[in-house]
Amino acid sequence: MAEDSALSGLVVLVPEAEPVIGRQRQLLDENASQGAPAHVTVLFPFAPPSALDESTLAAIGAAVASVPAFDPEFRRTAWFGDDVLWLAPEDPQPFRELTGRLHAAFPQHPPFEGRFPDAVPHLTVGHRHSRPLLEAAEREVLAELPVSGRATEVVLLARDAPGDRWAVRATFPLGCGLSPR
């Protein structure tokens, strides 16, 4: 998530990760200190908060309703370069499916503004800090893994101005089908 303007994003919250990575996120991820809970991003950036009208919300709900609830598990850490530490979902496919459906519904909002040819599902632990600091956090986190949870909804997080805290604006239930274990 970025910090430079009024923004929104669609995410899957992973509250089960908070006991494992919450302390590190508060220190190493400015989005956590600005109110964003532990999450895997499925579409960011999304529409400006001022554009989140009823038809947009209905289209989000329709896009995610056919994706079954699923059980993400995080057993390992990974890195983007030397300055982003993250948890890797064992099965990234449900997150990819959500991203694909939402991007198809909102082609004007490509994942991460189209900067990456493959938007890798991940749960950020920390970024924009020194490698040694992130490696110390990684050692602490690895000792507490795995993290398992239940994903039943997509959450719309938004903030209206730079410096505002991230807040939940809406939730959209996933389909009631069960994912294979």
- What pLDDT, on the 0 to 100 scale, is given for residue 162? 82
Q: Is the Cβ–Cβ distance between 124 and 81 less than 8 Å?
A: no
- What pLDDT, on the 0 to 100 scale, is given for residue 5? 73
pLDDT per residue over 74-110, tens digit each?
Answer: 999 999 999 999 999 999 999 999 999 999 999 999 9
Q: How is 38-58 classified by DSSP, letter by letter? A: SEEEEE-S---GGG--HHHHH
CA pair distance 25, 131, nearest whole angstrom: 15
Side-chain-facing half-sphere of 50: CA atoms under 13 Å = 4
pLDDT tier at 178, thresholds 50, 70, 90: very low
DSSP state of 16: G
CA pair distance 64, 124, nearest whole angstrom: 23
In angstroms, what CA-CA distances link 81 with 85, 98, 130, 133, 134? 9, 25, 11, 14, 12
Residue 173 in domain: no
Number of domains observed in the structure of the chain: 1
pLDDT per residue over 39-48, tens digit each?
Answer: 999 999 999 9
Q: Is the Cβ–Cβ distance between 150 and 159 less than 8 Å?
A: no
Q: Is the Cβ–Cβ distance between 19 and 149 less than 8 Å?
A: no
- Mean pLDDT across the chain, nearest whole number? 93
- Averaged over 23-38, what is the pLDDT? 95
CATH assignment at residue 83: 3.90.1140.10
Task: Inform me whether the pLDDT recorded for 1 exceeds 50.
Answer: no
Residue 178 in domain: no
Task: Inform me whether the pLDDT recorded for 72 exceeds 70.
Answer: yes
- What pLDDT, on the 0 to 100 scale, is given for residue 176? 65
Domain limits at 94?
7-167
Provide the 10 A C-beta neighbour count for residue 165: 12
- What pLDDT, on the 0 to 100 scale, is given for residue 101? 97
Q: Which of 68, 45, 43, 39 is nearest to 173 (CA)?
A: 68
Residue 174 in domain: no
Task: Inform me whether the pLDDT recorded for 62 exceeds 80.
Answer: yes
- What pLDDT, on the 0 to 100 scale, is given for residue 177? 47
Residue 162 in domain: yes
Q: Provide the 3-class DSSP secondary structure of residue 118.
A: coil
Task: Inform me whether the pLDDT recorded for 2 exceeds 70.
Answer: no
Residue 1 in domain: no
- What pLDDT, on the 0 to 100 scale, is given for residue 120? 96
- Averaged over 7-17, what is the pLDDT? 97
Residue 177 in domain: no
CA pair distance 135, 116, nearest whole angstrom: 24
Residue 161 in domain: yes
pLDDT per residue over 121-137, tens digit each?
Answer: 999 999 999 999 999 99
- Averaged over 168-180, what is the pLDDT? 77
pLDDT tier at 117, thresholds 50, 70, 90: confident
Residue 175 in domain: no
- pTM across the whole model: 0.92
